[in-house]
Amino acid sequence: MLTSCNPNQKEMNPLLAEFDTPFGVPPFDLIKYEHYMPAFKKAMEVQNEEIDAIVSNPEAASFENTIAALDYSGDLYNKVSNIFYNIKSANTSDEMQEIAKELVPIISEHKSNISLNPQLFERIKTVYLGRDSLDLDQEQAMLLEKTYKRFVRSGADLSEEDKANMRKIDEQLSMLSLQFGDNLLEETNNYILLIENEEDLEGLPEGLISGAAEAAEEAGQAGKWVFTLQKPSWIPFLTYCENRELREEIYKAMYTRANRGNEFDNKDIIELIIKLRTERAQLLGYKSHADYVLEERMAKTPENVNNLLMKLWVPAIRIAREEAAMMQKMIDAEGGDFKLASWDWWYYAEKIRQEKYALDDEELREYFSLEDVTAGVFMVINKLYGITFERRDDLPVYHEDVIAYEVKNADGSHLGVQYMDFYPRASKKSGAWSTSYRRQHVRDGENVSTIGSIVCNFSKPSGDKPALISFDEAETFFHEMGHALHGQFSECTYPGISGSSVPRDFVELPSQIMENWGENRGVLKEYAKHYKTGEAIPDELLDKMEASSKFNMGFTTTEYLAASFLDMFYHTITSVKDIDVNAFEAEAMNSIGLIDEIIPRYKSTYFSHIFSGGYSAGYYSYIWSEVLDKDAFNAFVETGDIFNQDVASSFRYNILAKGGSLEPMEMYLNFRGKEPDVNALLKARGLN
Ligand SMILES: [Zn+2]
């Protein structure tokens, strides 16, 4: 690979050369589209050679020559693939999309060649079965366990016949997921609410109306207004439209999607997906699909998930009933002669919100210039962990908006590199995320540091104003930096286990906990300053922010929990049986006591997280992580100092530094001294 003496050095593929840059960051300025495909192919070749060397090693399988060797393999592959996919998400182009398409079958074959290699699995199994006589440290034991389980869980230990069955099931499942998503898309796009009379628009904000007029024009209905089943259309419509019948119409259209008995109905697909998932889990020796999924998560068992959901459900539904009663009172006072229905909730909640806590988002924005928020994020991190961020304009970047920082330890030594890419552009995916170009690990005795990146879509500077972001965006910044710290503080040996390689229901703890500082009154007073006057955010605004953060939480929590329960009901089925989807859902919701005025955030036929995304038996994870982050932050609060150095150091070394080298609950206990408690979350949501 090293070709420093190659006379054609200028023709070299920079992805395949040693990176001659500070800290070995990618030479973004040298990489061209035509470099990717040959680099991928070469990198796969190299990894195949590495795997061959493991398999054909004449020595008996050992932790070092098999488990560690496998984990260290694919270094070049990861380097190339991280660069390609990170840039594809943050700064894509037609060329990259084309390459990505070409890569799909090639990469899937490459990965299967490794995960289905029977000799490789034999060696892994040999090491695993002899593990008690090996003298492994904690991290090694965990890597061994994870490697073995990964192969077994994908069917490596099954008989040839069962392997064939499983492949068939997997093929069917991926087809069905795709079909579920396609049907939902059709059903979402096939409906429009066409409004012809201007008086039907009463209550709607100007921006929404003009958007609806544009949509109508595009649909060949100039002079009318079109609303759709996309969230940015139906949610504000439901929130502001004064015409109750129209609210009912669009809401029913939304929640009967793919449940209308037409060609795009998802009910049979759901039934088949659940049957196949149950069958698959049982083929691998698990009681249910949820048992299969949760074994790898912090939650471990369906019982643990259901217990947690129930602890939150009882107070949430109680508060939701109170909220409903408050709205009914308003309806009665207005002389409305009807009972609050699910399509009325958004509308009356908004009326009550405006009455009680009207918060002007635009006014708030003036206290959140991106520059001040950045300084606030760095200040919080510095106060907690002593580290600093030094801007490095000499590092290559993939777009002029990207800023590179060197992260330094308290003693000034190098910790890692962190990119930040804040503004939206057409070439960037929506949302915000944290990723890395290189994970921390130790190779040949040398520490390899993290090269991380956060990518966001924050409001840009406009006119003569600097970038003024919303409070939500400020919280997102704190959140993503929490993920970034998980990578930067990693102190692991093996790349496969370092940084944020932790279960999904644990990975949001490091990120979400940071939001607690971002929204803390004292911290806000320090960083949220008016962009013109520099005056700190006034108490009156802070009061409103606090009050509105708890508003309507009975509803928000209840509709979320109902969907989480529904997910668990489907995936704890333990026998392959016929399912009448509507009856099943109704019974499930009845058994937890959901009230008529609220429906689950996702009903079965459009619950794509669990039927076409990767969240089956996992929709609970969002609130599980929130229980953790609120309880963990409480460890600081309880000392009377949210910057308590002992607690910060314990969080850093017991959780952030450990990557996935310990069971999440063990890490948590090491940090907190006790299991997480739901009370801090209930308090934060005003449900206590
Ligand atoms: Zn996150």
Question: pTM of the predicted model, to two decimals?
Answer: 0.92
Q: Element (H or E) spanning 190, and its range?
A: none
Counting residues of the chain whose pLDDT is more than 70, the rounded percentage is 98
Q: Which position among 480, 515, 559, 585 bears the catalytic label?
A: 480
| Contact indicator for 22, 390 with CB cutoff of 8 Å | no
Q: Return the number of other C-beta atoms located less than 10 Å from residue 480's C-beta.
A: 23
- Would you list the DSSP string of 426-479? TTS-SS-EEEEEE--EEETTEEE-EEEEEE--PPPPBTTB--B--HHHHHHHHH
Give the per-residue pLDDT at 431: 87
Position 4 confidence tier, pLDDT thresholds 50, 70, 90: very low
| Contact indicator for 580, 335 with CB cutoff of 8 Å | no
Cα-to-centroid distance, 477 and ligand 1 (Å): 10
**What letters, b where the CB count within 10 A reaches 16 and e where it falls short, cover 408-442?**
beeeeeebbbbbbbbbeeeebeeebebbbbbbbbe
Of 37-46, 142-151, 202-211, 670-679, which range is least confident? 202-211
DSSP state of 46: H
Distance, in Å, from the CA atom of 164 to the CA atom of 166, rounded to the nearest integer, reads 5
Distance, in Å, from the CA atom of 134 to the CA atom of 311, rounded to the nearest integer, reads 42
Cα-to-centroid distance, 487 and ligand 1 (Å): 13
The per-residue pLDDT for range 637-675, each reduced to its tens digit, is 999 999 999 999 999 999 999 999 999 999 999 999 999
Cα-to-centroid distance, 510 and ligand 1 (Å): 8
Cα-to-centroid distance, 94 and ligand 1 (Å): 28
Cα-to-centroid distance, 629 and ligand 1 (Å): 12
Give the per-residue pLDDT at 3: 46
Distance, in Å, from the CA atom of 27 to the CA atom of 70, rounded to the nearest integer, reads 27
Distance, in Å, from the CA atom of 308 to the CA atom of 290, rounded to the nearest integer, reads 15
Q: Is 92 helix (H, G, I), strand (E, B) or coil?
A: coil
Cα-to-centroid distance, 483 and ligand 1 (Å): 7
Spell out the residues 6+ positions from residue 44 whose beta carbon is closer than 8 angstroms to its own: 77, 106, 110
Cα-to-centroid distance, 511 and ligand 1 (Å): 6
- Would you list the DSSP string of 285-342? T-SSHHHHHHTTSSS-SHHHHHHHHHHHHHHHHHHHHHHHHHHHHHHHHTT--S---G
Angle at 100 between CA 96 and CA 104, to 5 degrees: 175
Spell out the residues 6+ positions from residue 578 whose beta carbon is closer than 8 angstroms to its own: 271
Cα-to-centroid distance, 340 and ligand 1 (Å): 35
The per-residue pLDDT for range 114-150, each reduced to its tens digit, is 988 999 999 999 999 999 999 999 999 999 999 999 9
Cα-to-centroid distance, 456 and ligand 1 (Å): 12
Position 7 confidence tier, pLDDT thresholds 50, 70, 90: very low
| Contact indicator for 452, 417 with CB cutoff of 8 Å | yes
The per-residue pLDDT for range 577-615, each reduced to its tens digit, is 999 999 999 999 999 999 999 999 999 999 999 999 889
Cα-to-centroid distance, 620 and ligand 1 (Å): 15
**Bridge partners, residue 404, by sequence:** 419
The per-residue pLDDT for range 511-561, each reduced to its tens digit, is 999 999 999 999 999 999 999 999 999 999 999 999 888 999 999 999 999
Of 147-161, 410-424, 460-474, 557-571, which range is least confident? 460-474
Closest among 316, 303, 330 to 623, alpha carbons compared: 316
The per-residue pLDDT for range 242-289, each reduced to its tens digit, is 999 999 999 999 999 999 999 999 999 999 999 999 999 999 999 999
Spell out the residues 6+ positions from residue 228 whose beta carbon is closer than 8 angstroms to its own: 188, 189, 191, 192, 193, 215, 234
| Contact indicator for 600, 566 with CB cutoff of 8 Å | yes
Cα-to-centroid distance, 51 and ligand 1 (Å): 33
Cα-to-centroid distance, 10 and ligand 1 (Å): 41
What is the chain's mean pLDDT, rounded?
Answer: 95
Cα-to-centroid distance, 60 and ligand 1 (Å): 42
526 is catalytic: no
Q: Element (H or E) spanning 69, and its range?
A: helix 69-72
Q: Is 269 helix (H, G, I), strand (E, B) or coil?
A: helix
Q: Which residue has the tokens 């790349």?
A: 495
Does position 311 have pLDDT exceeding 80, yes or no?
yes
Cα-to-centroid distance, 435 and ligand 1 (Å): 10
Mean pLDDT of 360-366: 88
Does position 48 have pLDDT exceeding 80, yes or no?
yes
Cα–Cα distance list, 224 to 211, 236, 237, 529, 563 (Å): 11, 18, 15, 43, 36
Does position 1 have pLDDT exceeding 50, yes or no?
no
Position 358 confidence tier, pLDDT thresholds 50, 70, 90: confident
Q: What share of the chain is helix, strand, coil (3-state, %, to 5)?
A: 60, 5, 35
Does position 10 have pLDDT exceeding 60, yes or no?
no
Spell out the residues 6+ positions from residue 521 whose beta carbon is closer than 8 angstroms to its own: 542, 546
